[in-house]
Amino acid sequence: MSDITHRTIDTNGIKMHIAEAGQGSLVLLLHGFPELWYSWRHQLPALAAAGYHAVAPDIRGYGGTDAPAEVESYTMRNHTADAVGVLDALGEETAVVIGHDWGAPMAWHCALLHPERFTAVVALSVPHMPRGPAAPIQLMKQVFANNFFYILYFQEPGLAEAELETDVRRSMRLLLYSASGDAPQVAALPQKPKEAKLLDGIQEPERLPPWLTEADLDYFTSEFKRTGFRGGLNRYRNMDRDWDDLPQLADAKVQQPALFITGDRDLVLAFSSIDAMKASVPNLRRMVTLAGCGHWTQQERPAEVNAALIEFLEEVS
């Protein structure tokens, strides 16, 4: 990855580490949990070769980027302001924004809150979900009642951190494997009681899936050993705060050209609505569904994802 360079920029009151490649129109790549800029390692050189300036930051709270201590520092307003600040730091007026996992809602919200800066949006794994009738955590508590659900488990500061940081390499191996298309469908979300922990019941892989090397696992492990998981987990702890903070999005639609990419074995599809997305993203140009692919879309199927991204970028340029 010698064609990928790294630097630190100032954005929205924090210092942010970015990885970048290429020259041309700006494409901003936002990762999810528990990932890093590194989850875009296959996309950066491909987009550069196609004539774009591809930039993948460590999101606030991750890797080489600042991790403020306050939970409320991780609101969606702050994450989208961070993204705008990247454009400002790079001297760019506009960009196409691409996001995966939590980066996908960040990308959708960039389009909604800053439409003058983000001309098109691509989401991987997580469709646009319109504002619900009540605060999301409260709704989840009603739906899951006495059953375990990972987002509810993440709400108590320190609880998930303690579990995941006990053995970071094992945690990353289990999380990356269990939510992938290589694992049994029951591996990522086994049925268990409310009092269970995240990794309870997740089976150890006999070997790493072909898309994940020991060197890849080394990088994720070294970074999360250094930083811990709290910054990433704090994003989940702002879901109700975001609902209270952004009432103006109740009937908002993403008007920019959009692309959605998912795997047919991505468990996010079990608790999100593609139909709701279609209604709230009227300029959704296409959906790409990758057979046999799980949640880590751009890592599991880099060639197919790169081809879909470049085709869409050429279309909207």
Q: How far is CA 248 from the centre of its chain?
A: 23
Cα-based torsion angle of the residue sequence 46, 285, 235, 175 in order, rounded to the nearest 10 degrees:
-60
Decide if 101 is catalytic.
yes
Rg of the chain taking only CA atoms, in angstroms: 18
Separation between Cα atoms, residue 245 and residue 258, nearest integer Å: 25
Give the burial class of 179: count Cβ atoms within 10 A of its Cβ; 0-12 exposed, 13-18 middle, 19 or more buried.
buried
Please tell me which residue in 101, 182, 242, 266 is annotated as part of the active site: 101
Cβ atoms 228, 256 nearer than 8 A: no
Positions annotated as catalytic residues are: 101, 295
